[in-house]
Amino acid sequence: MKRSPVLKILMLMALAVLFLLIARYSDIACTLSPQAITARLARAGGFAPLLFMGIMAVTVASPLPSLPLDIAAGAFFGPALGTLYSATGALAGAIISFSIARLLGRDMIERFLRGHINFCTACSDRLLTAVIFFTRLLPVVSFDLVSYGAGLTKMSVKRFSLATFLGMLPLTFIYNYFGSVLVIDRHLAVVLGLVMVFLFFLVPFWIERYAPVTIRGMFRHHAPATIPQRADSPEIERTGSSGKKPMGGTIILNNGPIPETKPDIEIAALLRSDINRLKGEFYDLERGRVDYKAMRGSDAYRQYVECTRLLREYDLSRLGTREERLAFWVNLYNTLVIHGIIELEIRETVKEIPRFFRRIAYEIGGMVFTPDDIEHGILRGNHRPFHRLLPPFSQTDPRRSLIISPPDPRIHFTLVCGSSSCPPINFYTPERIEQQLDIAAAGFINGPEVEVMPELKLLRLSPIFRWYSPDFGGHSGIVETLVRYLDQGDARDFLTAHGTTAKIEWKFYNWRLNR
């Protein structure tokens, strides 16, 4: 039943009043201090377990930390009973959050959470159960946000409760055991604390390395699960030019019948020709903008899409020189992103599609390549992106043979992510790639994404320099790059003399479409 916005607001207000009443009479402010919690429990006598589980439930359903409660439970009840009471109370709080989300509906909860979560409503119960279980193992994932997000799906309460309870038991026991040891031996507690920190890092590493691909993808931000390297993976979703929205897997954009009459000229050259035609008709090179709407229905775009299907049978070993490979992969990255924006009918920002840069892909020579694979795996020398634990290509990945090494940091001024703050779009040729990389670097550094303020001894830079600082060589390498490409003037003189001591501030990255 669809509820009116007024009714939803009234429900939300009623829940807020209920929370305040519980907070008033349970002295919930004490939850921030384990010592205060244990003192409160001691005064409760035989009702201590019920009081504790009630406070835990309210804490979990609200933006309050529950770790002090776990530690206090271990100190007061012991590790075994403390774990039982903590897990039971946390489960009750998770079910409350889950039920609130289901009661109020997707529109209000998403507005409340402001895009911090994005659960797939079309995912199976089995997949969602696994996702909930793994998130409960991760101490860095917000417990309450996951519960609210799960309530937006069609997942059953039974599955949600089971996955939550089983998933949180390991960490809950560790926290409670830590609390019990803290009372007996503080030195031992310090050692145990170090072990806990190690486990905090170990669990995400295990998920990144060994968990199923579809599970790994649910934990990655910007984007971007490790994409299956083979084109026949069951996790790949194919689309032609229907523009259908993705359901959760990798979307192969160059699916469809391969043209029967293959051109005599080399496919890479044909692609360059088609991309060059798109550039002439729909790219505004001065402003770095793309006319996506006009491109979608054009003959030039239709011809380009048909040409991309030839890539499925293309032998990548035909790209002989470093220059040919650089130009091919940079151009392909940019057009793959544009292709994805058009096919998925993105209106305002690529953020509309969760993990956009690890979802859209081309099949090339029987292998799958997403924008992230191209950027981080090939062009960056298989260096891990800042938001992931491991590089894109494993030791056994056949795509490792395509890595361009050593990487060239100037590629960061050529890759177009379809957003207003990304570098302006251009077209690159093997014959002029070195000169074009210099032009791209100079254009970006002398543009609005780089500000040098000598009077304040301050640099205001695009986050691109922060995200890929190791590629440039850290702070000093960034300064050297700026000095190399900045136009003559006060800004360049200041950086030459004081660049290594200048303070850096990072500009806002505008993800709105570059149209």
Could you please report the per-residue DSSP string of 138-167?
Answer: -TTS-HHHHHHHHHTSS--HHHHHHHHHHH
Contact (CB, 8 A) for 237 and 112: no
| 98 and 208 together in one domain | yes
| 39 and 63 together in one domain | yes
Across 106-128, average pLDDT:
53
| 427 and 439 together in one domain | no
| 422 and 275 together in one domain | yes
Mean pLDDT of the chain: 78
Give me the residue label for tokens 């001894």: 457
Q: Rounded distance, CA 78 to CA 85, Å? A: 10
DSSP E strands in 365-484: the ranges are 367-369, 450-453, 458-461
Residue 290 has pLDDT above 90, yes or no: no
| Tens of pLDDT, residues 78-97 | 888 888 999 999 899 889 88
Q: Rounded distance, CA 136 to CA 474, Å? A: 35
| Tens of pLDDT, residues 461-492 | 999 999 999 999 999 999 999 999 999 999 99
The pLDDT value recorded for residue 230 is: 53
Could you please report the per-residue DSSP string of 363-389?
Answer: EETTEEE-HHIIIIIIITSSPPPTT-S
226 part of a folded domain: no
| 402 and 472 together in one domain | no
Q: Rounded distance, CA 352 to CA 350, Å? A: 5
Contact (CB, 8 A) for 76 and 38: yes
Burial 215-245 (b: 16+ CB within 10 A, else e): bbbbbbebbbbbbbbebeeeebbebebeeee
289 part of a folded domain: yes
| 463 and 397 together in one domain | no
Which of 392, 415, 431 is the last residue in one of the domains? 431
Give me the residue label for tokens 């919690």: 37
DSSP E strands in 146-275: the ranges are 236-238, 250-252
| 423 and 455 together in one domain | no
231 part of a folded domain: no
| CA–CA distances in Å: residue 293 to residues 283, 286, 346, 485 | 12, 19, 10, 34
167 part of a folded domain: yes
The rounded percent of the chain whose pLDDT value lies above 70 is 74
Q: Rounded distance, CA 103 to CA 250, Å? A: 32
Which residue segment(s) compose the domain that 487 sits in?
435-506
| 336 and 442 together in one domain | no
513 part of a folded domain: no
| 403 and 254 together in one domain | yes
The pLDDT value recorded for residue 361 is: 95
| Tens of pLDDT, residues 393-439 | 988 899 999 999 999 999 999 999 888 888 888 889 999 999 999 99
Which of 400, 431, 462 is the last residue in one of the domains? 431
| 133 and 251 together in one domain | no
Which range is most confident: 53-67, 84-98, 135-149?
Answer: 84-98
Q: Rounded distance, CA 263 to CA 307, Å? A: 10
**pLDDT band with cut points at 50, 70 and 90 for residue 505:** very high
Contact (CB, 8 A) for 426 and 440: yes
514 part of a folded domain: no
Residue 185 has pLDDT above 80, yes or no: no
Residue 309 has pLDDT above 60, yes or no: yes
Q: How far apart are the first and last CA of the chain?
A: 39
Which of 217, 249, 269 is the last residue in one of the domains? 217
**pLDDT band with cut points at 50, 70 and 90 for residue 214:** very low
| Tens of pLDDT, residues 341-357 | 999 999 888 888 888 99
116 part of a folded domain: yes
Residue 241 has pLDDT above 50, yes or no: no
389 part of a folded domain: yes
| CA–CA distances in Å: residue 42 to residues 33, 73, 89 | 14, 11, 18
| 32 and 157 together in one domain | yes
The pLDDT value recorded for residue 200 is: 56
The pLDDT value recorded for residue 229 is: 53
| 452 and 401 together in one domain | no
Domain total of the chain? 3
Task: Kindly report the pTM of this predicted structure.
Answer: 0.58
